[in-house]
Structure 1
Amino acid sequence: MAKRIESVDFLRGFTIAAMILVNTPGTWSHVYKPLLHAEWHGLTPTDLIFPFFLFIVGISIYFAYKNKSNSVETYKKVIIRSLKLIGLGLVLNWFTPYFPFIGEWETLRFPGVLQRIGIVFFISAVLYLNCSWKTILAISCSVLLGYWLFLGFMILPEGISPTFDRAPNNWAMYIDSNLLGSHMWKTDYDPEGFFSTLPSIISCLFGILVARLLDNLNNRVYLLFGTGLLLLVSGYIFNIWFPINKAIWSSSFVLVTSGWGTLILAIIYYFTDIKSIQIGSMLKYAGMNAITVYFLSSFITSIFYQVKIGENDNIHSWIYTTIYTHDFMSDKFSSLLYALTVVAFYLLLGYIMYRKKIFIKV
């Protein structure tokens, strides 16, 4: 496609900004509830962020590879990009401030956001290069249905009945615990675990299908709205039998988040691509270097947590307590203000990279 679709860059930049916002509060002790994940079942605005990004990865796959042949060179690029994403994710985990020693093998977390993006990108790209949209839709529906049936009805070893709750007899948690052991985010589960990666691929495949629709809209934006509403209603109905849950990436979660993603994309598309109203340019610029901005924000945040200032402070806590904590502001507002400052910094970085025509492809 010769002309970039403005709404896609905008939504990608918005998603990255939201990721940074929820990942860098001034203090985790004081955070507004919408900026936290649901404790288990349920959905908050924060729970929409990661599936939105995978959804956008699917859109990007469609436009990047729609004219590509199934050549060795194409697959080589797909593999290399996937490995880069997985490698960058492992680097971030190696530097994470939440483990006592940098690089300690026994506690190194294997899963992660970038690792999941890398795996999802690889599988989705291969499917897109080899399957028609009807086959991709059939695969998506089959996986969502099969995932529900497996988690909800497949008996665990020793005759134990399965559950969707946070318990040892949850299949997603059971498989991850046995495969990953101590290399998980929590002792009992990982939100980017092995088994829940399977339905997360469908979030990306829905992005591919919506991108195909987007590419053939001819300004019929109501088709996007209709698709979004169909996904949304289907997801909330499915929630009756399979609760919306980000931690295990439930099938209803895939449908609902893809529905919201499609509806929000439709709104942005109407204003930016049809009406040519320029909104949120700073978000658009960050979206053009999304992975770079996300990686830098995560990496620098880790450094800020680890570099000590005095006996009791690190860079992060010193900046927060010195600049952002005041008697006339609530703790939650101070924490949010810190996060907004971090977001503003990386949006500015995205703008500078755009002006200097720096576009880093991972």
Structure 2
Amino acid sequence: MTSDKPRYAALDVFRGLTIFLMILVNTPGPGAHPWPFLVHADWFGFTGADFVFPSFLFAMGSALVFVLARPMSHGEFLARSFKRAGLLFLIGFLMFWYPFVKVTPDNHFALFPFADTRFLGVLQRLAVCYALAAVAVRFLKPKQIVVLCIGILVLYWALMVFCAAPGMAFDKVNNFGSVVDRLLIPQSHLYRWDDGFEPEGLLGNLPATVNVLAGYLACRYIVSAPATIGRVQVVAFGGVALAITGLFVSAFVPLSKKLWTDSFVLVTVGLDLVLLALLVAVLDVMRLPVRTGFFEILGKNPLAVYLLSEMLMLTQALAKPFTGVEPYRWIGVEVFQRLAPGPAGSFLCALVYTLACWLFGYLLYRKRVFVRL
């Protein structure tokens, strides 16, 4: 496989764009409702916000191509993969426990008990999917991985439809995934909002792994030979075909990020294939003079920037007992809502926060610090 710089640049830009959108979606400015496309679909449906998480899984799968290129035994590869997954899971768990204290309704501090700490989450899903995908790409050939992906989606559909109570296959509380989560994980360790539904539940890791494997297959195909418009077109047309197939399937299996349904997998993988093909065409094949440094900086330190964005938001909330209001809320309402009332102000507040996180990534880049697990 070749490994010239533009292809690395395309993947860095893809990851960086994903992280940028993830922070933007996760931190809407207070004081007004965000624009609808920046808010996750309530249950069924699809918005721009719903595209972010599966894209990060896709990007993580693409990186596996370069991990496999390093010479190592099966045992060493699996040990490294499981170690990385384990650390990622632990970081995700500690992030939910952080800052280990909470502000009570009467503006005092109290310890945040372990008994109330959520077990699952975004980084935890990344960890589980990475571990499952790493085993698959190590021991299976590309055609076998395609068959595996189809098998996973069929299995997940069958479990959801035939293992749930009649009429409850896609119900928020009584779908089979929710039943499994409540059976294996104490309620106090599950998501506390959205009627108690756990959006990163255990069973949903199966179809989410397909997003990772799709990223691996796409990147493997692109870097296995010199990139040409023809090869890029194959990826793009494949993406369009998958997205259209997903929309067709959604008539029978509704689009739902929270359930991570089969139609959701097909649509998001299809869109990611089109986006990746576009980036490779622009940066590697046509070599257009496009400035990509902004997103590359985020793409080279995605974990560090993401963790900062989450932990900074949690940390600033601790100021409320001293200031009477969370700083981010005050800034959003008193500054950005005055500048641009409504969704525009909410967006501007989130954008400024995202740019502040980018600045942290830029400082790491200037120092040549790259956080890897």
**Alpha-carbon offset, residue 145 of structure 1:** 1.0
**Alpha-carbon offset, residue 28 of structure 1:** 7.1
Letter in 2 for 1:139: L
Q: 1-side partners of 2:60 and 2:183: how far apart?
A: 30
Q: 1-side partners of 2:267 and 2:364: how far apart?
A: 34
Change (3 A) 1:99 1:92: farther
Consecutive unaligned residues in structure 1, runs of 5 or more: none
Q: 2-side partners of 1:43 and 1:320: how far apart?
A: 27
Change (3 A) 1:153 1:339: same
Aligned counterpart for 1:323 among listed residues 335, 347, 354: 335
Q: 2-side partners of 1:2 and 1:294: how far apart?
A: 27
Q: 1-side partners of 2:261 and 2:207: how far apart?
A: 7
**Alpha-carbon offset, residue 151 of structure 1:** 0.8
Report the equivalent of 1:56.
59
3-state SS of 2:222 partner:
helix
Q: CA contact under 8 A between 2:10 and 2:284: conserved in structure 1?
A: yes
Consecutive unaligned residues in structure 2, runs of 5 or more: 105-109
Q: 2-side partners of 1:123 and 1:241: how far apart?
A: 28
Aligned counterpart for 2:96 among listed residues 73, 93, 96: 93
Q: 2-side partners of 1:204 and 1:28: how far apart?
A: 36
Report the equivalent of 1:203.
211
3-state SS of 2:168 partner:
coil
Deviations 1:191-218 (A, max 9, x none): 1111111111111011111112111353
Change (3 A) 1:17 1:78: same
Q: CA contact under 8 A between 1:227 and 1:259: conserved in structure 2?
A: yes
TM-score of the two chains, using structure 2 as the length reference: 0.90
Q: 1-side partners of 2:111 and 2:265: how far apart?
A: 34
Q: 1-side partners of 2:139 and 2:31: how far apart?
A: 45
* Equivalent runs, 1:207-222 vs 2, <5 Å: 207-216=215-224, 218-219=227-228, 220-222=231-233
TM-score of the two chains, using structure 1 as the length reference: 0.93
Change (3 A) 1:29 1:152: farther
Report the equivalent of 1:25.
28
Q: CA contact under 8 A between 1:20 and 1:294: conserved in structure 2?
A: yes
Report the equivalent of 1:118.
127
Report the equivalent of 1:3.
4
Matched, 1:261 2:272: yes
How many matched pairs?
Answer: 357
**Alpha-carbon offset, residue 280 of structure 1:** 3.1
Q: CA contact under 8 A between 1:41 and 1:243: conserved in structure 2?
A: yes
Aligned counterpart for 1:165 among listed residues 149, 163, 170: 170
**Alpha-carbon offset, residue 246 of structure 1:** 0.5
Report the equivalent of 1:34.
37
**Alpha-carbon offset, residue 29 of structure 1:** 4.7
The percentage of counterpart residues that share the same residue type is 28
Deviations 1:131-171 (A, max 9, x none): 111111111001101111221123x4xxx315343343311
3-state SS of 2:190 partner:
coil
Q: 2-side partners of 1:311 and 1:344: how far apart?
A: 25
Q: 2-side partners of 1:141 and 1:55: how far apart?
A: 16
Report the equivalent of 1:72.
75
Letter in 1 for 2:325: D
Matched, 1:286 2:287: no
Q: 2-side partners of 1:269 and 1:28: how far apart?
A: 40
3-state SS of 1:182 partner:
helix
**Alpha-carbon offset, residue 325 of structure 1:** 2.9
Q: 2-side partners of 1:61 and 1:145: how far apart?
A: 24
Q: 2-side partners of 1:168 and 1:99: how far apart?
A: 29
